[in-house]
């Protein structure tokens, strides 16, 4: 086992899947010669050649639109959007076609493609480079949305995404790209899509989160638990669509209290959906209102204010305390 950061782990998945399956192609802006702006596609062009590692012209909608055609034609395209904020240019193709062709053709056509892109804050870049808008994708029936939280699960989830028969939006928390390393087994491993993981077991409160928010949430949970002698359970969603409501509902049914942490703007965010599921299926088990820690309904601020706006461990800890204190 090698210790890899998330960039290296995703790169490993791409190498191994392209090696395993000759129909897997990688396309996007600067993914070949330049190896991607975050170097996620390093080495692919040299290994697999320009027919399968395609430096495309600069047009996000066309990258996704042609990926759809490639998928219809028997390939498994893995398309890269350079940044979250640019991915919106491809939404008409994702929403209008990638998500719908299975239904439109009554299962006769499928679009096995992956759209991967770095998302969320943390790289001190320009406008449109630090956005967390998961629900733009998760709201669309027929799209799967996957968000890893570390090198090992990033690799294992990407393997599943590439092998999946349907379009998967794979959002890579860019703040985690080089944040830490983890043991990642050489042998390919896959994690099922649409399944959350309990990453810390507890009995007093359930903290639900995903992606880059997981680590500060864990830090907050550990601090609070240390201070109060509580045991907080932490659920890492890993997939936002389809959402594993069962794992969340089961956990909260045991703990009776919940906090949801999201980086994205507050209104209509994933937390709202999770709270609605708890309302439907665990209301009588709740001992406190479900709290959410989120971004605000403002245009994503430039990085000068990023630290102030993105939820941090202290905000999460306060929400945990408040929810634990509620009587």
Partner 1 sequence: MPLSDLASFQVQRLQVLDQDGKLDQSLEPDLTRAQKLALYRAMLLAREGDQKAIKLQRQGRIGTFGPSTGQEAASTAPAFAMTERDWFVGAFRELGGWLARGMPLENFLWFHNGWEEGSVFPSLGRTLPVNIIVGSQTLHAVGLAYAMKLRGEQDSAVVAFFGDGATSQGDFHEALNFASVWQAPVVFICQNNQWAISLPVGKQTHSRTLAQKAIAYDMPGIQVDGNDALAMFRATQEALARAKAGGGPTLIEAVTYRLMMHTTSDDPTKYRTEAEVQEWWQRDPLKRFRLYLGAQGLLDEAGHAALEAEVKAEVEAAVARFEARRDFKPDAPFDHVFGTPHPELEGQRKTFLRELAQAGGPEARHG
Catalytic residues: 129
| Cβ-contact 269, 294 below 8 angstroms | yes
What count of other Cβ atoms lies within 10 Å of the Cβ of residue 7? 22
Shorter beta-carbon distance to partner 1: residue 19 or 246: 246
**CB 251 → partner 1: shortest distance, Å?**
16
Which parts of this chain interact with partner 1 (CB under 8 A)?
23, 25, 51-52, 56-57, 59, 61-62, 64-75, 77, 92-93, 96-97, 101-110, 141-142, 144, 164-166, 193-194, 242-246
Where do runs of H (alpha helix) occur along the chain?
6-20, 44-48, 60-72, 84-87, 91-93, 101-104, 135-138, 151-163, 213-228, 245-255, 270-281, 306-309, 313-325
**CB 59 → partner 1: shortest distance, Å?**
5
> Rounded to an integer, what distance in angstroms lies between the CA atom of residue 291 and that of residue 323?
7
- Nearest 5°: the CA angle 304, 310, 314 is 115
> Rounded to an integer, what distance in angstroms lies between the CA atom of residue 12 and that of residue 286?
43
**CB 193 → partner 1: shortest distance, Å?**
8
User: Residue 197 is inside which H or E element, if any?
Assistant: strand 197-200
> Rounded to an integer, what distance in angstroms lies between the CA atom of residue 36 and that of residue 324?
44
Shorter beta-carbon distance to partner 1: residue 144 or 174: 144
**CB 170 → partner 1: shortest distance, Å?**
16
Bridge partner list, 291: 259
Shorter beta-carbon distance to partner 1: residue 74 or 304: 74
> Rounded to an integer, what distance in angstroms lies between the CA atom of residue 261 and that of residue 216?
10
**CB 139 → partner 1: shortest distance, Å?**
13
| Cβ-contact 128, 301 below 8 angstroms | no
Handedness of CA 25, 181, 300, 210 (dihedral sign): positive
> Rounded to an integer, what distance in angstroms lies between the CA atom of residue 250 and that of residue 255?
9
Shorter beta-carbon distance to partner 1: residue 245 or 301: 245
**CB 229 → partner 1: shortest distance, Å?**
35
- Nearest 5°: the CA angle 88, 294, 119 is 35
Shorter beta-carbon distance to partner 1: residue 33 or 314: 33
Shorter beta-carbon distance to partner 1: residue 48 or 177: 48
Pairing verdict, β 144-146 and 239-241: antiparallel
């Amino acid at each position: 086992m090698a210790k890899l950061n998330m960039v290296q782990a995703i790169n490993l998945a791409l190498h191994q899947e392209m090696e395993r399956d000759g129909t897997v192609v990688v396309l996007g802006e600067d993914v070949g010669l330049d190896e991607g702006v975050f170097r996620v596609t390093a080495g692919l062009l040299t290994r697999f050649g320009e027919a399968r590692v395609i430096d495309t012209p600069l047009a996000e909608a066309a990258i996704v639109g042609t990926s759809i055609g490639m998928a219809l034609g028997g390939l498994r395209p893995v398309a890269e959007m350079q940044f979250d904020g640019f991915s919106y240019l491809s939404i008409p193709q994702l929403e209008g076609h990638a998500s719908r062709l299975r239904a439109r053709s009554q299962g006769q056509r499928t679009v096995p493609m992956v759209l991967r892109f770095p998302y969320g804050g943390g790289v001190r870049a320009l406008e449109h480079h630090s956005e967390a808008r998961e629900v733009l994708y998760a709201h669309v029936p027929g799209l799967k949305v996957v968000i890893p939280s570390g090198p090992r699960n990033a690799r294992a989830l990407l393997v599943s995404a590439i092998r999946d028969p349907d379009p998967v939006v794979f959002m890579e928390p860019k703040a985690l790209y080089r944040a830490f390393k983890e043991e990642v087994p050489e042998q390919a491993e896959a994690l099922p899509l649409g399944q959350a993981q309990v990453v810390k077991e507890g009995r007093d409160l359930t903290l639900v989160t995903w992606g880059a928010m997981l680590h500060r949430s864990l830090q907050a949970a550990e601090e609070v638990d240390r201070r109060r002698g509580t045991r907080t359970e932490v659920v890492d969603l890993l997939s936002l669509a389809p959402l594993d409501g069962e794992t969340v509902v089961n956990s909260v049914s045991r703990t009776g209290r919940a906090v949801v942490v999201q980086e994205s703007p507050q209104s209509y965010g994933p937390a709202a959906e999770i709270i609605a599921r708890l309302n439907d299926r665990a209301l009588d088990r709740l001992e406190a209102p479900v709290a959410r820690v989120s971004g605000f309904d403002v245009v994503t601020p430039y990085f000068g204010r990023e630290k102030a706006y993105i939820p941090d461990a202290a905000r999460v800890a306060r929400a945990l305390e408040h929810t634990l204190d509620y009587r």
